[in-house]
Amino acid sequence: MYIEEIASDDPRYKSEGEAKQWRKVKLRAVNNFIKVVSDEPLFEVNREDALKFYNFWRKHIEPGEVGESAGNRDIGNMRVLFASYCKHMGLDQVQNPFAELSFSQRFKRSRPPFTVSWLKEKITASANLAKLNDQARGILLCMIDTGARPSEISNLLPENIHLNADIPHISIMPNIGGSGAREIKPQSSTRKIPLVGLALEATRNNPHGFPKYRDRDNAMSAVLLKWLRVNELQETPDHTVYSIRHSFEDRMKEAGLDDELRRILMGHSINRPKYGSGGELKWRRDELLNIVW
């Protein structure tokens, strides 16, 4: 009822893969609750049951087997399920047994950035790149000089790639309807990024995008991470594909790019009322040229 009726609008603008993942995390929370507590009518779930579920996760979180986010995700989904059902049925006064149950994230691990020398001498060395298929290689190179998230690049549609514009750029934006449907959250992630350096070269080689990995985010990430590990291209064991994005931020900072421009290009929120367009593409392009090697 929750997926097909109560929250049926949620996946409306999601791609098939996004909608599948949305359903998966909802069902995972329910199935985990059933395994840990029991399969019982929703209104018979009480605080004791919720605490049992909370303590199950606590016993896995405290020794470091899993992170706090895993428990918070399941408990949060159960809380939302209970609250949404009550509201749908007009039972607003029912106490939610999962209320106020969560784990504080005392330490959030941040992925370390690759150094510029590592990117130059290891990541983009021709012998290593040759071991990647054409489209995975294009996504990787595009990440280096756009700082975009891997999934933002792999899901670009041909109409999102503007190679013939006065300032070549990509548009990261939601796509509504059809096989190319894609949701973009948060809104700050919607942006235009000029193409320079390796990113311009990669998109020229892939003018229609990267259909092999479109809506296949997990497969694409697995290919790139395996390539890093097999070829010993992780600067440390903590380095991942996302470390390239962190490097982009550092490179902009070290080149003296404006803080607000860095936020725009990274798709981060700006904590003030929005005025203007955030600067013309030419200005963004000229600033980005300062980090190209």
CATH at 222: 1.10.443
Residues contacting residue 257 through CB under 8 Å, at least 6 positions apart: 287, 288, 290, 291
How confident is the model over 172-181, as a mean pLDDT? 67
Per residue in 55-97, pLDDT (tens digit) is 999 999 988 888 899 999 999 999 999 999 999 999 878 899 9
Q: What average pLDDT does the chain have?
A: 90
193 and 264 together in one domain: yes
Give 175's DSSP letter.
B
Nearest CA to 42 out of 99, 5, 92, 96 is that of: 96
How confident is the model over 173-194, as a mean pLDDT? 72
| Six-digit token string for 32 | 């985990």
78 and 170 together in one domain: no
Backbone angles phi and psi of 121, in degrees to 5:
-90, -20
* Confidence band for 29, pLDDT divided at 50, 70 and 90: very high
260 and 130 together in one domain: yes
131 and 71 together in one domain: no
77 and 189 together in one domain: no
263 and 161 together in one domain: yes
Q: Are 215 and 231 in contact (CB under 8 A)?
A: no
The range of the structural domain enclosing residue 186 comes to 116-291
pLDDT of residue 163: 97
160 and 51 together in one domain: no
pLDDT of residue 26: 93
230 and 192 together in one domain: yes
pTM over 0.85: no
Q: Examine residue 110 and state whether it is found in any structural domain, yes or no.
A: no
Backbone angles phi and psi of 266, in degrees to 5:
-80, -15
Report the domain count for the chain: 2
Tokens 């509201």 belong to 87
